[in-house]
Amino acid sequence: MEASEKPQLEIGDDPDGTVRALASRIVIEGLTVNDERAANLVRERALAGTPGSSTVTDAIVIGARVLDRESTGAEVDLVKNELRSQLGELESDLGQTLEGAATQLGEILSQQFGAERNDSVQAQIKETVGRLVTEQREALNRTLTAEDGSNPLVAFQERQSKLQLAAEERNRAEIERLRDQHGKESRVLQEHVARLTKEVARLLERDKADERVAAEVEKGTAKGRTFEEMAHALIEDIATAHSDAASHTGDITTESGAKKGDTVVEIGAGVGTSLATVVFEAKNKKLSKNDAWTELNACLRERDADYAVLVVAGEDKIPSGLDELTEYQGNKMIAVLDREDPDPLALRLIYRYARARVLAASSASLEVDAAGVRDAADEAGAALKRANRIRKSLTGVTNSADAAREELNAMLDDVEQCLGRIESLVAAAATEPSA
């Protein structure tokens, strides 16, 4: 009855043998399986005491259950997915452990999937994987919570503690070294600052002293007063030789309260009435061109003078853009008197030129040859300009210096002659009675 109620596999004419499925049984007749691995497995198990029929039966049963799935690959994917869902993040950290578990899993699967097991392969895999994962998790938890050397975290913590202590010790040593170095550098810096402070104080004191000296020079004391007095003494000698009167007015205030003009010369006042006034301003510093005109114009105005001469203490004190022995604006000239090696020649010529100019300007009040005076004054001025050009050309000249100096002296002699003619004409007019 049993054979007639269930579908039967007909006996075929397969030359390799006959296989029939009768109900829950399989009948194999004359079948030869050509597989080296299967043959080796049967032999090995037979040597171990397992009959060959049992091995073949287990192989057929297990193979039938595997083939019951769609493909072997599907079974592998199922195992992997189940492992991922059970292990989670442990998959990456427990790779080596899982390799051992996989070996164990293979042995268990071979034992569990015997002919006597009728439940599904999926259920058996899930149960086995779940149990193994639980065991591995508990083992890992015991290892990681142990307080002895079996716990790798203990060794790690000890190693980290040692490294941290060593790092702290190095940091303390480095901080101490930096503190000592900073202290040394700070002391050196303080000493350097102290030296700089003293040097700055010394320089400030010197600057203040220089300012005081410059103020004294400007006020006419110390070196400035010496140059002013020296210039006045020379001018006074020249004035006396021409019967003029020279007064040192550097400290005498005018009606406006100013002290412009260091020496005032009254032409002809040495023997009679003053005919004109020439003012001299001595400077031991260099003025700008504008300041020079401002200074001389103030001298002319406050001393009520007809002519003004700026006497400077060396060629380096000549205002920029101006020249010595050159008349400016019809009533101003610049004279150089070297304070280290005073030579009154230039000052004497300029004095006589200025004297002639003011006398020529006042010739209307005298019975004098006005045309002769003006001609001589113009000729003297032209000679002074030529002499000045030659004098400048001598600076830096090394060849033909003697010839140039002879020409300069000749020019100066011409100036002397012209000035002498002017003085003679003026003197003659002053001694002759009025008509």
pLDDT band at 221 (very low <50, low <70, confident <90, very high): very low
- Residue 360 near residue 368 (C-beta atoms within 8 A): no
Minimal CA–CA distance to 250: which of 319, 328, 302?
302
* Tens-place pLDDT, residues 127-184: 777 888 888 888 777 776 777 766 677 777 777 788 888 888 888 888 888 888 888 8
In the chain, % of residues over pLDDT 90:
17
pLDDT band at 16 (very low <50, low <70, confident <90, very high): low
Residue 277: the pLDDT is 95
| Alpha helix stretches (DSSP H) within 68-151 | 72-87, 90-93, 95-112, 121-145
Q: For the chain, which residues make up each domain, given as ranges?
A: 2-145, 148-219, 220-431
Nearest 5°: the CA angle 207, 211, 215 is 170
Structure-token pair, residue 389 = 């050009």
Q: Comparing C-alpha atoms, which of 335, 331, 391 is closest to residue 356?
A: 331
- Which of the residue ranges 215-229, 337-351, 368-382 has the most confident prediction, judged by mean pLDDT? 337-351
Say if pTM beats, i.e. exceeds, 0.75.
no
The enclosing H or E element of 245 equals strand 245-248
pLDDT of 77 higher than 70: no
Q: Please determine, for residue 206, whether its predicted confidence score (pLDDT) is greater than 70.
A: no
239 exposed, middle or buried (CB, 10 Å; 0-12, 13-18, 19+)? buried
Q: Which one-letter DSSP state was computed for residue 149? A: T
Residue with tokens 């103030």: 298
**CA torsion sign, 29 to 30 to 33 to 36?**
positive
CA atoms of 84 and 424, how far apart (whole Å): 137
Q: Work out the average pLDDT over 74-91.
A: 57
CA proximity to 155, closest of 143, 167, 166 = 143
Number of other CB atoms surrounding residue 434 within 10 Å: 6
> What is the CB-side half-sphere exposure of residue 97 using CA atoms within 13 A?
17
> Residue type for 230, please?
M
State residue 25's pLDDT score: 83
Residue linked to tokens 């000052």:
347
CA–CA separation, 210 vs 206, rounded Å?
6
Q: How far are the Cα atoms of 80, 81, 136, 162, 209 from residue 65, in angstroms, in the given order? A: 19, 20, 28, 58, 118
Q: What is the pLDDT of residue 267?
A: 92
| Phi, psi for 57 (deg, rounded to 5) | -60, -45
280-305 b/e (C-beta count within 10 Å ≥ 16 → b): bbbbbeebeeeebbebbebbbbbbeb
Inter-residue contact 383 to 418 (CB < 8 Å): yes
The residue that leads in pLDDT, 401 or 88, is 401
